[in-house]
A = this chain, B = another copy of it.
Amino acid sequence: MTEMNKQWILVRRPEGAVKRSDMELRESPVRPLEAGETLVKMLYLAMDPATRGWMAPGGGYTEPLPLGGPVMGVTIGRVVESRNPQMKPGTVVAGVGHWAKYMIAGERQISPVRCGNLGVLSPMDTSHGFDLPMYLHAMGTSGGTGWYGLMEVAGMKAGDKVLVSGAAGSVGSLVTQMARLKGAAKVVGIAGGPAKCAEAVRDYGCDVCIDYKATDDIAAAIAKEFPDGIDVYFDNVGGEILDAAMGNLAKWARIAVCGMISQYNALEAPPGPRNMWNLLVKTARIEGFLVSDYFGTPACEAAYREIGDWIRDGRMVAKVDVRDDFDNVPDVFNQLFSGGNDGRLVVKVPD
């Protein structure tokens, strides 16, 4: 078969927010497969802040994306042709793939099936029976990230008072609900704007949501909600809000650093938290984590069983915002940072 491919190629490393001119949409025929290769038709692309990090010259947690190559992110695709004996046409795969209609995956870009989606494409367990985009959200990296960070990294226990930033975002909206379902004594979200804050309380189980855009003194707002301090802070944003949270810790507090969305587009590293001293005073812990470290573990299987049950029983709300707008991916991507999405932002790749 000779199909035309359309690929988003990284042509320039972004400075600040991603610009349209940092990428080019290129068409070219799909070349024939060589031995060991697999042709994957991409189906869904998750818009993930991590991709912004991968575009940077270095300092991310993977090698930077090469200039002149396709942009990559967490994706779902379907094998359409295979010269890899391990991969059969029709198999649905998930993992780090191209922002493109088609991707040719070499042997090393395909891994055996395992829980979670690692840095390569692997056959996906769709036995829970959800629509495919859900496997990019609660049943995929967002859910796994939230569960792992809250339960394993922060070690949340029933009775803990929990703060979650990015509380209306893809990971945050699941974490607030997990905290509630796991018996948190209080769940406070932080989000930007009245609509997102209302959603965090109405749909995502927050007792209270602090609208940071309408708050002059975020530290005071946090202190008001946590007069005895925060036990667990699930940090999606870094920067000033992390600092404010660090100023309001309870003894033995745990901070799980999931993301630092405030820093992805920053041109230089901002000053760090002034409240480091509090780590000592409160014998507190800050720990960064990457969901990939948890893939393939028994805890991963347990997490998706539990999350799957919560969603099926209607106890967890997991919104997916699917856009049929492949030709405008850079603009869709930037909505992550401007807050234009409602739930996990996913781009459907045209047939």
B-chain residues with CB within 8 Å of residue A238 when the two chains form the complex: 276-277
CB-nearest residue of chain B to A60: B281
Picked from B272, B280, B287, B293, the residue with its CB within 8 Å of the CB of A61 is: B280
B-chain residues with CB within 8 Å of residue A60 when the two chains form the complex: 281
B-chain residues with CB within 8 Å of residue A258 when the two chains form the complex: 280
> A201 to chain B: closest CB distance in Å?
28
> A284 to chain B: closest CB distance in Å?
6
CB-nearest residue of chain B to A249: B288
Interface string of A48-75 (1 = CB under 8 A from B): 0000000000011100000000000000
Number of contacting residues on A, CB 8 A?
34
Cβ of A30 under 8 Å from chain B: no
CB-based contact B279/A276 at 8 Å: no
B-chain residues with CB within 8 Å of residue A260 when the two chains form the complex: 276-277, 280
Cβ of A259 under 8 Å from chain B: yes
Picked from B243, B286, B289, the residue with its CB within 8 Å of the CB of A286 is: B286
Cβ of A328 under 8 Å from chain B: no
Cβ of A84 under 8 Å from chain B: no
Picked from B59, B242, B283, B288, the residue with its CB within 8 Å of the CB of A288 is: B283
> A249 to chain B: closest CB distance in Å?
10
Cβ of A285 under 8 Å from chain B: yes
Cβ of A183 under 8 Å from chain B: no
Q: List 20 A-B contacts (CB under 8 A).
A: A59-B277, A238-B276, A242-B276, A258-B280, A259-B280, A260-B276, A260-B277, A269-B275, A271-B271, A279-B286, A279-B288, A280-B288, A280-B290, A282-B288, A283-B287, A283-B290, A284-B288, A285-B285, A285-B286, A287-B287
| Residues in chain A within 8 A of chain B (CB atoms) | 59-61, 238, 242-243, 257-260, 263, 269-290, 293
